[in-house]
Chains A and B, each alone.
Chain A
Amino acid sequence: MITAAASMSALGLGLGLLLGAAARKFHVKTPPVVDEMERILPGTNCGQCGYPGCRGAAEAIAEGGAPVTLCPPGGRDVALKLAEIVGVDCSGGPEISGMTDIEPQVAFIFEDHCTGCTKCFKRCPTDAIVGAAKQIHTVIWDACTGCDACVQVCPTEAIVLRSKPRTLQSWYWDKPDQPLAALRTGAA
Chain B
Amino acid sequence: MQEFFMILLGTALVNNVVLVKFLGLCPFMGVSRRVDAAIGMGLATTFVLTLASMASWVVETAILVPLGLGFLRILSFILVIAAIVQFTETVMRKLAPGLYRALGIYLPLITTNCAVLGVALLNIQEAHDFAQSLLYGFGSALGFTTVLVLFAGMRERLAQLSVPAPFSGPPIAFISAGLLSMAFMGFAGLTPN
Contact = CB atoms under 8 A, between A and B. Distances in A.
Contact of B69 (A3, A12, A23, A26): A3
B165 interface: no
Contacts of B59: 11
Contacts of A19: 83, 86-87, 90
Main SS class of interface, A: helix
A12 B86 CA distance: 14
Contacts of B93: 26, 28
Interface in A1-36: 3-4, 7-8, 11-12, 15, 18-19, 22-23, 26-28
Contact of A27 (B68, B79, B94, B97): B94
A11 B63 contact: yes
A22 B63 contact: no
B190 interface: no
B69 A15 contact: no
Contacts of A22: 87, 90-91
Contacts of A12: 79
B120 to A, nearest CB: 15
B85 to A, nearest CB: 10
A7 B67 contact: yes
Contacts of B69: 3-4, 7
A21 to B, nearest CB: 10
Interface string A140-179: 0000000000000000000000000000000000000000
B161 interface: no
B1 interface: no
Interface of B: 59, 63, 67-69, 71-72, 75-76, 79-80, 83, 86-87, 90-91, 93-95, 97
Interface of A: 3-4, 7-8, 11-12, 15, 18-19, 22-23, 26-28
